[in-house]
């Protein structure tokens, strides 16, 4: 089967591009024009019974996952390890990524990206070594996955459910505001 050639298109006008008038921003201006997003990293930690470790921040009414803000020039992986050490006194290398969650802006917070890593299964001896750091946390609690929702925000409930499913299935969840993307 022979396909006829496409017709040749003619430009409506020709513009000469010179370095001074290229329409391309210099690198510093281009970088300054990019959107800024906050970034956080967290860990899904579970015990041998499959219960999810939740932390009880002293500064807010709902429980949370271990984790926090990624600092300047820090990778999400390093931030996750640092936050788990600061909050729980455990030096655990994060495992694979379980979820990447884009979160839209809300009052007083810009949009952001949260990366959740598999923190693994904590054996009883490691659980007994948990030490809450720096007064940020009022406590911790291991909760069956189906009992997480009333203890956390709806967003975090969706994110934790997606992370548990991803950990169990060996997949990665692409999320938007805690729900499957797309």
**Total of domains in the chain:** 1
Q: By the 8 A CB rule, do 146 and 168 touch?
A: no
- Residue 1 domain-assigned? no
Q: Show the domain range for 44.
A: 36-180
Q: CA 141, 144, 147, 148 torsion: positive or negative?
A: positive
Residues in contact with 67: Cβ distance below 8 Å, sequence separation at least 6, in sequence order: 40, 41, 42, 43, 79, 80, 83, 84, 87, 114, 116
pLDDT score of 9: 66
- Residue 2 domain-assigned? no
- Residue 15 domain-assigned? no
- Residue 4 domain-assigned? no
Which residue, 42, 47, 57, 180, is CA-closest to 118?
Answer: 42
pLDDT means per 10 residues, the chain with 182 residues, are 67 59 79 87 98 96 97 98 97 97 92 97 97 90 98 98 98 98 92
Instruction: Say how many residues make up the chain.
Output: 182
- Residue 7 domain-assigned? no
pLDDT score of 108: 87
Task: Give the CATH number for residue 142.
Answer: 3.90.79.10
- Residue 163 domain-assigned? yes
Give the C-alpha distances (Å, rounded to integers) separating 131 from 12, 43, 73, 97, 99. 70, 16, 27, 25, 27
- Residue 129 domain-assigned? yes
pLDDT score of 45: 98
Residue 88 backbone class (left: φ over 0; alpha: ψ -120 to 50; beta: rest): alpha
Which residue, 90, 38, 83, is CA-closest to 64?
Answer: 83
Q: By the 8 A CB rule, do 28 and 44 touch?
A: no
Q: CA 133, 136, 141, 142 torsion: positive or negative?
A: negative
């Amino acid at each position: 089967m022979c396909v006829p050639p496409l017709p040749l298109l003619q430009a409506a006008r020709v513009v000469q591009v010179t370095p001074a008038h290229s329409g391309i921003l210099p690198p510093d201006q281009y970088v300054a024009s990019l959107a800024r997003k906050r970034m956080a990293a967290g860990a899904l930690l579970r015990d041998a019974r499959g219960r999810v470790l939740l932390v009880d921040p002293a500064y807010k009414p709902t429980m949370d996952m271990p984790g926090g803000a990624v600092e300047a020039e820090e990778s999400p992986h390093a931030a996750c390890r640092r936050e788990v050490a600061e909050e729980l006194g455990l030096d655990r290398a994060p495992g694979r990524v379980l979820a990447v969650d884009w979160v839209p802006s809300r009052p007083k917070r810009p949009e952001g990206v949260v990366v959740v890593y598999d923190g693994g299964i904590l054996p009883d001896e490691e659980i007994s070594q948990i030490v809450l750091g720096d007064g940020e946390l009022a406590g911790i609690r291991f909760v069956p996955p189906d009992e997480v929702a009333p203890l956390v925000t709806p967003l975090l409930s969706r994110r934790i459910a997606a992370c548990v499913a991803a950990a169990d299935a060996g997949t990665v969840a692409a999320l938007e505001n805690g729900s499957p993307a797309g």
